[in-house]
Amino acid sequence: MDDGFSKSERLRAAADIGKKVLNKEIPTIELNRVFDEEKGKAVFKPELSDKTIKLPKESETAEKLKQKTKAEIRARIDRELAENEDDNIGTEAFRKGGNASLEARNAIKKNLPDDKLIKQKTIEALRKQKKKLERERRWREFKKETLDKAKKESTKKAAKKTAETGAKTVAKETGKEALKAEAKHEFHKLLFKKAQRAAAKEAAKKTAEAAAVKASADATVAVATTETTKHAVGIATGVEEVLLIISAIIIGIILLIILIAVVLTFIFFHSFFQTNIAAGMYQAEETEIEEAELHMTYLEASLVNYMYNLPGYEPGYDGYVIDSSFSVGHNPFTLINYLTCKYDDFEYAEVEDEINDLFNTMYTLDKWIEVKQVLVVNEEGEEELETEYILHVKLTRVNTLDEVVSTRLSDEEKEQYEVLDETKGGLQFIASPTGEDYYSSVSSAYGFRYHPINHNLSVHRGLDIALPEDTPLIAGISGEVTFVGNDEGGYGNYIVIKNDKGEEVRYAHMNEVTLNVGDTVIKGETVLGLSGNTGASTGPHVHIEVLKEGEYRNPLFYIADS
């Protein structure tokens, strides 16, 4: 059959295929998408591909059998060449193909699919392609719907937030003073209401006691009047003296009534102020308050440390993906106000489980593993697929601490919470370092934290307040300067002042200290120096430490906001 190829060309092609077979490479079929003019649409056409499949290495027995087959094929080829010497075109090429030709034919016949199999594979490929295209179509539709929905939600939220922000801004600008006055009025009304309830019982008791005293006085007056009358009857000439005695008795009764009223008034106001002072102050020991707040900061700092050092806590994965949009932190006043309302004079051991539960309600940690195939080059320079396992971690702040505690307080406890929120627990005796509200400028709170320089879990024994460099710092207490120095690897330029109770306040990272050891300072008046960025500092701020009886305390509970 004349197919356009000479015998020499066919032998060369057979030799090439034979070489591939001997190299354990089997030709493959690929489906090419072409346009069928008769059908008017794209179809898949099976064709031989340049790509080949590597056959696995044969066993020792199979190798021997192959060598034997090669010898037989070589002998047969030699006989055919001897009988057909006239047609010697391509003989050299045919001989170079050698034992490969016949084996190639058999291998191709054995490994290449027949028409039925090709048709079946083609149908399967078409189905897979159709499913793939369908999945892609669904994915595009799903992505479009999701994006449209997300855009609508985002637009809606943005509009709502804008409206709320605008309303809040207007309210803040136009009614700030009015709201402040109203808040003060409500606060005093609340104090009076609580005091009234507490003093009512005491007042009733004292009223009963006063009534008894008055009854006794009336009886005394009656006896005295009787005696006076008898005396007046017996002495006809002493009328004026009798009148004087009666007047003195009446005046004594009036003075007694006034005294009783004064005593009752004193009892009422004493009870009033005692009740409100107690309601506006933390009842727990300061050391217990310290431990409770430190425990919450430890839980939060440990969570941040876990996120930033994930490979160390979760080893063995090929990669890690951390959602860095998390937010961790709480208001220390919120925690201690809540614990005071629920447990009054609490101890740390008593509230530890409650703090753990608050923490677990605030945060959620999600973890999942992604499995994917990656094409890599091995040591032999060949490409191969490898499986990689990627750990994903996402931290979500579900609720703020304020939101959590608001659902756990009764109406009466909420009233007490409002009082504590106004008084800040009654512990603040140190003036603000700037003479103004500094809460919004706190850059690093007291307690456990993920250290910004050392990148590990550590205890921050002070309060960092972000300030522009060279801001004047004012003495927080009246007392004496006990230390002025420089610590390049830590505090930088810093000063320590101490009062007659042994309470200390330290100010660090200053650009300049204007006082000397032994100088006297006055609370809220004396300028200590200028804030700065000296020592181990990541930005301009003042680091303040408070010590009572030689022990560190959380400055936030002791430094007034203005």
The answer to whether residues 263 and 132 belong to one domain is yes
The predicted pLDDT at position 325 comes to 84
Does 233 fall in a domain?
yes
Q: Can you give the pTM of this predicted structure?
A: 0.54
Domain boundary among 233, 256, 279: 279
In the chain, count of helices (H) and strands (E)? Answer: 12, 17
In angstroms, rounded to a whole number, what is the distance separating the alpha carbons of residues 12 and 90? 8
The answer to whether residues 268 and 130 belong to one domain is yes
Does 499 fall in a domain?
yes
Q: For the stretch 405-429, what's the b/e string if a residue is b when 16 or more beta carbons lie within 10 angstroms of its beta carbon? A: beeebeeebeebbbbbeebbbebbe
254 SS3 class = helix
In angstroms, rounded to a whole number, what is the distance separating the alpha carbons of residues 222 and 216? 10
Q: Are 471 and 508 in contact (CB under 8 A)?
A: no
In angstroms, rounded to a whole number, what is the distance separating the alpha carbons of residues 175 and 184? 14
User: What DSSP string runs through 270-336?
Assistant: HHHHHHHHHHTS--S-HHHHHHHHHHHHHHHHHHHHHHHTHHHHSTT-SEEEE---------HHHHH
Does 143 fall in a domain?
yes
Does 346 fall in a domain?
yes
The predicted pLDDT at position 561 comes to 86
Does 526 fall in a domain?
yes
The answer to whether residues 413 and 434 belong to one domain is no
Residues 6+ apart with CB under 8 A from 400: 330, 362
Does 1 fall in a domain?
no
For the CA atoms of 527, 528, 532, 533, the dihedral, rounded to the nearest 10 degrees, stands at: -160
The answer to whether residues 270 and 338 belong to one domain is no
The answer to whether residues 250 and 312 belong to one domain is no
The answer to whether residues 147 and 93 belong to one domain is no
The answer to whether residues 128 and 269 belong to one domain is yes
Residues 6+ apart with CB under 8 A from 222: none
23 SS3 class = coil
Residues 6+ apart with CB under 8 A from 307: 322, 326, 393, 395
The predicted pLDDT at position 306 comes to 93
* Count: domains in the chain: 4
The answer to whether residues 205 and 234 belong to one domain is yes
The answer to whether residues 317 and 410 belong to one domain is yes
In angstroms, rounded to a whole number, what is the distance separating the alpha carbons of residues 432 and 471? 13
Give pLDDT tens digits along the chain (562 positions).
444 455 566 556 555 655 555 555 555 556 666 666 776 666 666 665 666 555 444 445 556 655 666 666 666 666 655 555 444 444 444 444 445 545 545 554 555 555 666 667 667 767 777 766 766 676 667 666 666 766 677 677 666 666 665 555 544 455 545 544 454 455 445 554 554 555 455 555 555 555 554 555 454 444 444 444 444 444 444 556 667 777 778 887 887 788 776 666 555 544 444 444 556 889 999 999 999 999 999 999 999 999 999 999 999 999 999 987 888 999 999 999 999 999 999 999 999 999 999 999 999 999 999 999 888 888 888 888 889 999 999 999 999 999 999 999 999 999 999 999 999 999 999 999 999 999 999 999 999 998 878 888 999 999 999 999 999 999 999 999 999 999 988 999 999 999 999 999 999 999 999 999 999 999 999 999 999 999 999 899 999 999 999 999 999 999 998 7
In angstroms, rounded to a whole number, what is the distance separating the alpha carbons of residues 495 and 412? 45
User: What DSSP string runs through 182-241?
Assistant: HHHHHHHHHHHHHHHHHHHHHHHHHHHHHHHHHHHHHHHHHHHHHHHHHHHHH-TT-HHH
The answer to whether residues 254 and 330 belong to one domain is no
The answer to whether residues 419 and 432 belong to one domain is no
Does 184 fall in a domain?
yes
Domain boundary among 255, 279, 303: 279
One-letter identity of residue 556: L
- Domain of 335? 288-423
Q: Which CATH number covers residue 546?
A: 2.70.70.10
Does 475 fall in a domain?
yes
The predicted pLDDT at position 188 comes to 47
The answer to whether residues 234 and 93 belong to one domain is no
The predicted pLDDT at position 454 comes to 81
Domain boundary among 50, 85, 112: 112
In angstroms, rounded to a whole number, what is the distance separating the alpha carbons of residues 66 and 93? 22
Q: Are 441 and 465 in contact (CB under 8 A)?
A: yes
127 SS3 class = helix
Upper half-sphere CA count for residue 343 (Cβ side, 13 Å): 21
Q: Could you give phi then psi for residue 430, rounded to 5 degrees?
A: -105, 135
